[in-house]
Chains A and B, each alone.
Chain A
Amino acid sequence: MKSRTALRLSHGLLLLACSGALLAPTAARADWLLDAAAGYTYDDNLPNALNDSDRKADSALSASVRAGISEQLATNTGLTLALLAEQNLYLRYSGLTNFGAGAQARLRHKFGLGADTPWAALSAQALHRNYHYDYRDGWQYDAGLTAGKRLSERLSVQGSVHYDRYTADRLQPTILPGFPTDAYDVWGWTFGARAAYAITESDLLSAAYAWRNGTVTAITPRDPEILEYSSALARDPVFGTEPPLVAYRIAGKTDIVSLAWSHAFSPRISMTMSYLYRRTVAPEDLGGYYSNVVSIFLGYSR
């Protein structure tokens, strides 16, 4: 367990060191960026419960900051390196409260000159999350390709493909012989499309659809049927201990639909309200689960 933790931490430190090394030489002449956001999120199915009776809802207050540099490597190609930190404070299920810190890199290329020119961006991010419930601690990785184009003054579209992985730092003691306990270790591929339309000079309406194929963690009371389709299970007291709840890792295909409205108060400050519907279908007859997530965020960009 210790070696697993050490390995993850060393990955993180290496990533941060590399970011710092890359940032340092160009710092004096680079485009410094500082983004900050604070907001509120409500999720009506935090455990990803398959049965309605097991659903748990909660709200979270969140704050995040991203600082780094953007540098044009060539006429049409720019590199952004940034460090991130975020805090999510859950109002009821405190075990979910977490602090995340990490780094991200993004290489963006424009295929020509002008605001309407198509572009593509490769991105990679690593974030270590430290939860109140320690067994959830781990690294969240994301890497992907996004491409987009402004179709008119008001309409822009983008498509993306991403690979995500979450790897917990520590493993729980075995609760069922022969079954791994890395139930929080999940991964998947996500294919997404997004369109944004300016309804006024200051208001942007966006709609997005994404499809994810991978593994998810669902937390429910012990269920032999779910166990049959699980590849890992671990105890999870975050949502209560009576009855005892178990985190199962199962395969799932997820549809995600979201709508967002952003209002710019100034060139640097905006507010975004969003609604997200997520439905995951598990294999065979296991069924699935769904979530509704609403959020409101205030954002600042230097």
Chain B
Amino acid sequence: MTRPRSRVLAVAYAVALLATPVHAEQLRALVRDAAGKPLPNAVVVAAPKDGKVPPAQPAIEVVDQIDKEFVPYVKPVRVGTQVQFPNKDNIRHHVYSFSPAKKFELPLYRGTPAQPVLFDKVGVVKLGCNIHDWMLAYIYVTDAPYFAKTTGDGRAHLDGLTRGSYRVWVWHPRMTGAEADTSRDIDLQGTMSLEWKLVLSAEFRPPRAPVPGDAGYR
């Protein structure tokens, strides 16, 4: 029972089906691309409509640098979270972000920087490495208490929710439309399944593979 929503680029199809009641409320999300293929690295977010949100607990998350790539590619965190950027390569990296939600720079370093970076503003933070220009990752900072990232099968499970009304939406770094266009208002009881279909744009990074005549890197 899907219902297409026109007028939006990031077309969201939502199927809200109440399944058998269980003791804890659960939101099961499935995100696909326009071709119907499961889409990993989409962030599914749920915010109580009554505004009553559990206070954020101090947390430290990690975005690694492994084999000249950020791992993971997408990291959702709650506002106020600190993130460590350990460099697990045997070379130096230079991590930076120009994003308004968090501008920062960790100049040339090995190992783990002494201080984690505090993400205290809601928004998308795009990460780069000034040595290896193809390195790219995103930190999605939200003030919503419930969120999860889709895995390779396009699925994400949001646990620990209480019964009630929620606004639920999806974000993906390559989605062509706005997050707001994907939002759905739901009354959650038991386990609910939601499905989105997102239209994606291409992601153009500086090439890492060898290109004859390209003198850009080393």
Which residues of A approach B to under 8 Å, CB–CB?
29-31, 33, 35, 37, 70, 72, 75-76, 78, 80, 106, 108, 110, 113-115, 117, 119, 121, 123, 146, 148, 150, 153-154, 156, 158, 160, 194, 196, 198, 200-201, 204, 206, 208, 258, 260, 262, 264-270, 272, 274, 297, 299-301
Closest Cβ–Cβ distance, residue A29 to chain B (whole Å): 7
The reply to whether B216 and A206 form a contact with Cβ atoms under 8 Å apart is no
Are the C-beta atoms of B128 and A114 separated by less than 8 Å? yes
Q: Which residue of A lies closest to B206 (CB)?
A: A115
Whether B133 contacts A299 by the Cβ 8 Å rule is no
Q: Considering only CB atoms, which chain A residue lies closest to B105 in the complex?
A: A113
Residues of chain B lying within 8 A (CB to CB) of residue A33: 218
Is B96 positioned at the interface, with any CB of A under 8 Å from its CB? Answer: yes
The answer to whether B130 and A114 touch across the interface, beta carbons within 8 angstroms, is yes
Minimum C-beta distance from A147 to chain B (A): 9
Which residue of chain B is the closest to A74 with respect to CB atoms?
A: B108
B207 contacts A264, CB within 8 Å? Answer: yes
Label chain A's interface by main secondary structure.
strand
| Interface residue ranges of B163-218 to A (CB < 8 Å) | 202-216, 218
- A114 with B98: CB separation less than 8 A: yes
The interface residues of chain A lying within 8 Å CB-to-CB of B94 are 72, 75
Interface check B88, CB cutoff 8 A: no
B218 touches A80 (CB 8 A): yes
A29 to B131, CA, bound (A): 15
The answer to whether A200 and B202 have CB atoms under 8 Å apart is yes
Tell whether A106 pairs with B218 under 8 Å between CB atoms, given A30-B91, A72-B92, A76-B130.
yes
The one of A70, A76, A156, A268 that contacts B216, using a Cβ cutoff of 8 Å:
A156
Rounded to whole angstroms, the CA-CA distance of A148 and B205 in the bound complex is: 16
Docked pose: A64 CA to B157 CA in angstroms: 50
CB pairs A–B below 8 angstroms (8 shown): A70-B218, A76-B130, A114-B96, A114-B128, A201-B203, A262-B209, A272-B212, A301-B208
Q: Nearest chain A CB to B211's CB is how many angstroms away? A: 5
- Which of B69, B107, B206 contacts A150, CB < 8 Å? B206
Q: Is B90 an interface residue (CB 8 A)?
A: yes
Are A75 and B108 in touch, CB under 8 angstroms?
yes
In whole angstroms, how far apart are the Cα atoms of A119 and B202 in the complex? 25
Interface size on B, residues (CB 8 A): 32
> For A268, what are the chain B residues with a Cβ–Cβ distance below 8 Å?
208-209
CB distance from A157 to the nearest CB of B (A): 11
With an 8 A cutoff between CB atoms, is B49 at the interface?
no
Residues in A neighbouring B108, C-beta threshold 8 A: 72, 75
B110 within 8 A of A: yes
Q: Which residues of A contact B110 (CB under 8 A)?
A: 29
A78 touches B206 (CB 8 A): no
Contact of A297 with B212 in the complex, beta carbons under 8 Å = yes
Which residues of chain B from 51 to 80 have any CB-CB distance to chain A below 8 Å in the complex? 69
A150 to B128, CA, bound (A): 15
Within B132-157, the residues touching A (CB, 8 Å) are 133-134
Contact status B215-A201, CB under 8 Å: no
Cβ A272 vs Cβ B211 within 8 A: yes
- Say how far A231's CB is from chain B's closest CB, in angstroms: 31
Q: Return the chain B residue nearest A37 by Cβ.
A: B210
Cα distance, A119 to B216, chains bound together (Å): 8
**A262 in complex: contacting residue of B91, B98, B202, B207, CB < 8 Å:** B207
Assess whether B218 is in contact with A108, with CB atoms less than 8 Å apart. Answer: yes
Known A70-B218, A194-B213, A272-B212; further 10 A-B contacts with Cβ < 8 A: A33-B218, A80-B218, A106-B218, A146-B215, A153-B204, A196-B214, A198-B207, A264-B208, A267-B69, A270-B210
A148 near B131 with CB under 8 A, answer no
CB nearest neighbor in A for B212: A272
Measured CB to CB, the nearest residue on chain A to B202 is: A201
Contact status of A266 and B128, CB under 8 A, knowing A72-B108, A75-B94: no
CB < 8 Å neighbour of A206 from B91, B128, B134, B211: B211
Nearest Cβ distance between residue B41 and chain A, in whole angstroms? 15
Q: Which residue of B lies closest to A28 (CB)?
A: B90
A269 to B36 alpha-carbon distance, docked (Å):
28
Q: By the criterion CB–CB under 8 Å, are B210 and A301 in contact? A: yes
Residue among A29, A146, A274 making CB contact with B212, cutoff 8 Å = A274
B107 lies within 8 A of A115 (CB)? no
Complex Cα–Cα for A256 and B205 (A): 28
Residues of B within 8 A of A201 (CB): 202-205
Contacts A70-B218, A75-B108, A80-B218 known; A299 to B210 CB distance under 8 Å? yes
- Cα–Cα distance between A134 and B105 once the two chains are bound (Å): 55
Q: Are the C-beta atoms of A115 and B91 separated by less than 8 Å?
A: no
The interface residues of chain A lying within 8 Å CB-to-CB of B211 are 196, 204, 206, 262, 270, 272, 299
Contacts of B98 in A (CB 8 A): 113-114
Contact B213 A208 (CB under 8 A): yes
